[in-house]
Amino acid sequence: MRSLPLITSLAWRNLWRNKRRTMVILFAMVLGVWAMIVTAAFMRGMAIQMLDDTVNNLTGHIQIHHKNYLDDPVIENSFFGNDTALLNTLKLPDIIHWSSRIRVPAVISSERETRGVVLLAIEPEAEANISFLKNAITEGQYFSSNDENGIIIGKKLAQNLETRLGKRVVVMSQNTKNEIADSGYRISGIYDTSGEGMETDFIFITKRAAEQLLDSTGLSSEIAVITRSLDTVLSVQKNLAAKNPELDIQDWSSLQPYTKLVVEMYSDFQYVWHLIVFLAMSFGIINTLLMTIYERTREFGLFQALGLKPGFILVQVWTEALFMLTIALFIGNFVSWLTVMTTGDGIDVSAFSQGMELAQMSNIIPFVILFEDLLLANIIVIALGLLTSLYPAWKASQLVPADAITRI
């Protein structure tokens, strides 16, 4: 251990013997580290954004349905959403919001056109806490109370129906008596989302208005629940499912398996990407170290002739590699941080908006750097970096003094 200061100062000086070479390899490594972190942050951002959108777009964290509802989403398969026993089970500290809805297939007609849609009957106040609707209204108003008799439809649907704010539309759906019921509503609000799919699919009325249309007093098709955080979703879901065995209670990951899959796949892809980037860097690291050793052959021979152990040489070359890796990581992390800071809200990919919609993603992808992702990239670089530089370091320690000194 006495030789530690000697090793470090030797390694440090050797690193800067050929400045240009060291700079070139450092640049390559910084680029690699940057690519690792920024790509991971982008994918993380995509995944988180997608999850947020999924939760916001009516899914919530957990949904409660009648056992048959998901297979056969009609008013017949609904439950008593006002049931005190059920509502009591929702009084958990981890549940922050919930909203009860009726959600049934319907047909909407203007004077000119007809479309198939999903009719959502909501409790305005509760719904405002958990889904996108209130903030997406661009014309007219959100429902101010459950007594309102207006209808809120999407911008694209309004276009397709050739109708506008203030006009009347007719909604038809099957009521609890299995008859087709219809009722006229005045368009009181128009919402605009980044994807047109939402806009053409969902129309909203108040739950009380639906009770008249569908004869569904007291009934709910679903209750959407938002928990305190993503980590508590599973425990809350289990808790609710155990207390309400007659109902179907699922969390977002089983309701939206595609979202879950993509989120997981992005996480897994990180490992693959990091390894590929590292492999690309490793050739450069080994080669550069081998070159520095090659030109110092005489020197290493001399060291050994002077009595320094091969182990000393190995550790010295290794320390050089460690310095190089550390500097690259330091700058790489800093540059990544700078990149993320300067992009603000994220990368605007709205040029691909319809493609993003197809993939169920939104138009602005924020960079999200998670500590665990940062740690992963850094550990991979330092651990694998030291592993690969073991080879040139070992090579250096194996030189035979007499041979080495005589070489030019």
Partner 1 sequence: MNTTLNFAWRNIWRHPRRTILTMLAIAFGAALLVFSIGLQLGQYDLMIKGSISIYQGLLQVQKKGYLDEPKIRNDIKDIQNLARTIRDKTGIKSITARANGFALVSSEQRSYGTLITGVEPEYEKLVSSIPGTIKEGRYLLSDDSHEVIIGKSLANNLRIKTGDELTLMGSGRDGSIAATILPVSGIYDSGSKELDRNLIQIPIKTFQEVFSMGNAGHALIFYHDEIKKEHFFRQQLQQLIADNNQLLTLSWDQLQPGIKQAIELDYSSGWFMYLVLVAIITLSILNTFLMSVLERSREFGIMLALGYKPFNIAKLVMLEALILTFFALTLGTLAGLAINVYFAVYGLTFEGMEEIAQMYNMSATLHPQITFESILIGPLVIFIFTILSALYPAMKIRHLQPVEAMRKI
Binding footprint of partner 1 on the chain (CB under 8 A): 20-21, 24-25, 27-28, 31-32, 35, 39, 71-74, 105-109, 111-117, 159-160, 162, 172-174, 178, 180, 257-258, 261-262, 264-265, 273, 276-277, 279-281, 283-288, 290-291, 294-295, 349, 351-360, 408
Q: How far, in Å, CA of 86 to CA of 385, rounded?
A: 57
Taking the complex as a whole, the smallest distance from the CB of residue 366 to partner 1 amounts, in Å, to 16
Q: Which is nearer to partner 1, 114 or 145 (CB)?
A: 114
Q: Which is nearer to partner 1, 9 or 68 (CB)?
A: 68
Q: Which is nearer to partner 1, 104 or 223 (CB)?
A: 104
- List the one residue out of 280, 326, 302, 246 whose CA is nearest residue 65: 246
Taking the complex as a whole, the smallest distance from the CB of residue 181 to partner 1 amounts, in Å, to 10
Taking the complex as a whole, the smallest distance from the CB of residue 255 to partner 1 amounts, in Å, to 13
Q: Which is nearer to partner 1, 4 or 358 (CB)?
A: 358
Q: How far, in Å, CA of 238 to CA of 249, rounded?
A: 8
Q: Is 175 helix (H, G, I), strand (E, B) or coil?
A: coil
Q: Which is nearer to partner 1, 343 or 353 (CB)?
A: 353
Taking the complex as a whole, the smallest distance from the CB of residue 152 to partner 1 amounts, in Å, to 18
Are the C-beta atoms of 310 and 304 separated by less than 8 Å?
yes
Neighbours of 167 (CB within 10 A): 14
Taking the complex as a whole, the smallest distance from the CB of residue 73 to partner 1 amounts, in Å, to 7
E strand or H helix at 97: strand 95-109
Are the C-beta atoms of 169 and 221 separated by less than 8 Å?
no
Q: Exposed/middle/buried for 13, CB within 10 Å: 0-12, 13-18, 19+?
A: exposed
Q: Which is nearer to partner 1, 39 or 78 (CB)?
A: 39
Q: Which residues of 335-353 are buried (b: 16+ CB within 10 A; e: fewer)?
A: bbbeebeebeebeeeeeee
Taking the complex as a whole, the smallest distance from the CB of residue 323 to partner 1 amounts, in Å, to 17
Taking the complex as a whole, the smallest distance from the CB of residue 30 to partner 1 amounts, in Å, to 10
Q: Exposed/middle/buried for 382, CB within 10 Å: 0-12, 13-18, 19+?
A: middle
Taking the complex as a whole, the smallest distance from the CB of residue 304 to partner 1 amounts, in Å, to 21
Q: Which is nearer to partner 1, 227 or 256 (CB)?
A: 256
**Six token digits for residue 258:** 């595609």
Q: Which is nearer to partner 1, 149 or 174 (CB)?
A: 174
- List the one residue out of 255, 334, 197 whose CA is nearest residue 55: 255
Give the up-direction half-sphere exposure of residue 159: CA atoms within 13 A in the CB hemisphere.
8
For residue 200, how far is the Cα from the chain centroid?
26
